[in-house]
Amino acid sequence: MIHRESNQLFIGPYAIDDQRRVRTIPYTEAPGRYTGLARDLTNPKQDLLLATMEEGFYRLNTQSLKTTQLYPDGNVKQPKKDDVANNHANTLLPGAHGKGLYSGQGVMVYSNNGEPGPLALKQFDVEAGVLAEWNGKDWTVVRRNQFVEVTGPGGIYGNQNPQTDPIWATGWDHKSVLLGVRGNGKWTFFRLPKASHAYDGAHGWNTEWPGFAMLVKRVSLII
């Protein structure tokens, strides 16, 4: 994410300023597998929201890099034996394997693309994943399907008009591609043809990051 006000690029635990100086968020202060950054709901000029794959959430000060824990990471509460262990059944939200994060219209939107438990490893058409939103106090489950990317017209800068700009979420089930659009505080979903079964698998360990190569290209052009 590029934070215009502080003129910094944030990627994973790193903050890079316009002079190419790199600072690191200490893992001991904000543990977890980082998966998304979004502009803060109340103080976006100063703070960002940081999410992990196991539903850890932090508020990040863009100047000091100090973090405030909002929700603890699941791997901290219940450490995995190894990285190929089954997904955690976290208590905060249904589903597992967090992916996208974005903010606007007074909420932070978070997605995950998997489901815990042995059934998800064997059967592809079971209930899996979630699209959820947080208003700064309470969580709401928007839809129980597998979702990956959450973004808007502002892209990696965040929406320029957060109260009115749309938020988009891409996902799927075993039948279709799903496109979610949040406008005027309401979600609308569209079904699109599914051209590949590469994503089938309720566990979420499939082709997860189709936009990674494009992200690297965009970041390299910025830096």
pLDDT 10s digits, 65-76: 999 999 999 988
Residue of 28, 30, 70, 67 whose CA lies nearest to 47 = 67
Could you tell me which residue, 99 or 78, shows the higher pLDDT? 99
pLDDT of residue 79: 73
Least confident of 80-84, 117-121, 163-167, 194-198: 80-84
167 token code pair: 């938020």
Number of domains forming the structure of the chain = 1
Rounded mean pLDDT, 41-58: 97
Report whether pLDDT(95) > 70: yes
Q: Is residue 200's pLDDT more than 90?
A: no
Cα angle 196, 199, 202; round to 5: 140
**Class of residue 200 by CB neighbours under 10 A (exposed 0-12, middle 13-18, buried 19+):** middle
Tokens linked to 144: 């129980």
Where does the pLDDT of residue 90 fall: very low under 50, low under 70, confident under 90, or very high at 90 and above? confident
101 has a pLDDT exceeding 80: yes
Question: For 25, phi and psi rounded to 5 degrees?
Answer: -75, 120
The pLDDT of residue 173 is above 80: yes
pLDDT band with cut points at 50, 70 and 90 for residue 204: confident
Q: Is residue 63 scored above 80 in pLDDT?
A: yes
CATH number at 180 reads 2.120.10
Its domain, for residue 32, covers 2-222
